[in-house]
Amino acid sequence: MAEQRVAIVTGGSRGIGRDSAERLARDGMAVVVVCAGNEAEANAAVEAITAGGGRAIAARADVADEQAVAAVFDRAEAEFGGVDVVVHAAARMVLAPLAELDLDELDSMHRTNIRGTFVVGQQAARRVRDGGAIINFSTSVLALAIPGYSGYAASKGAVEAITLILARELRGRDITVNAVAPGPTATSLFLDGKDEETIARMAAQPPLERLGNPSDIAEVVSFLAGPARWINGQTIRANGGIA
């Protein structure tokens, strides 16, 4: 019998991360659901996976804290024997025009989104088993260039650069490194602070005329984590054709 593959999913307690964790479990992987602080939601994700016959554990870590992230990988190896897939979905989003963006908020967002990608990527590069996959998260806002998103988009531009370079640095390991760039997706991160008119307008923009669902993005994660062995160093824009 083939050894069970093991996935670590940061930001796995809610939204796209939660759907990705549950989808990878349905694909047959053991999953470590990583949260920043909402342990109740992380435990609920674990319960949903185990209720469906899967294997999962919850872990808490600030993704920008290298010791905390190393401890998550230690636990995955101790519980499940190794790590094959890392899905780095944890992120912060603070919106404001560039001229008005609070610089402390910018620093905090970039600590999570850029330093966090480095920290998670370092452990993944050192510890993912040959034949594995590393999946980061960008955003389709990079192409859309929506006012108010400069700080967030800048952080995700960094993620795309890191993704391509890490893919090349892992030459010879048979490890793919890709990023997923969702468009407007019906998660609390996207919906919070927007009125119904704004949400309806954004939902009408893609040719498919709807918001994405977290499950739509989880499908792409599943593809990159499993059969998509010839896709490497790419950013997949999962946005319904918006850009």
Catalytic residue positions, numbered:
152
Paired residues of 87 in beta bridges = 9, 135
Structure tokens at 78: 């101790």
Number of H helices, E strands in the chain: 10, 7
Cβ contact 144:199 at 8 Å: no
CA 92/CA 89 separation, integer angstroms: 10
Helices 116-127 and 66-80: angle between axes, nearest 10 degrees: 40
Asked if 109 and 94 count as a contact pair (C-beta separation under 8 A), the reply is yes
Structure tokens at 138: 């960008």
Q: How far is CA 31 from CA 19, 20, 58, 145, 225, in A?
A: 12, 10, 9, 35, 12
By the 8 A CB rule, do 182 and 212 touch? yes
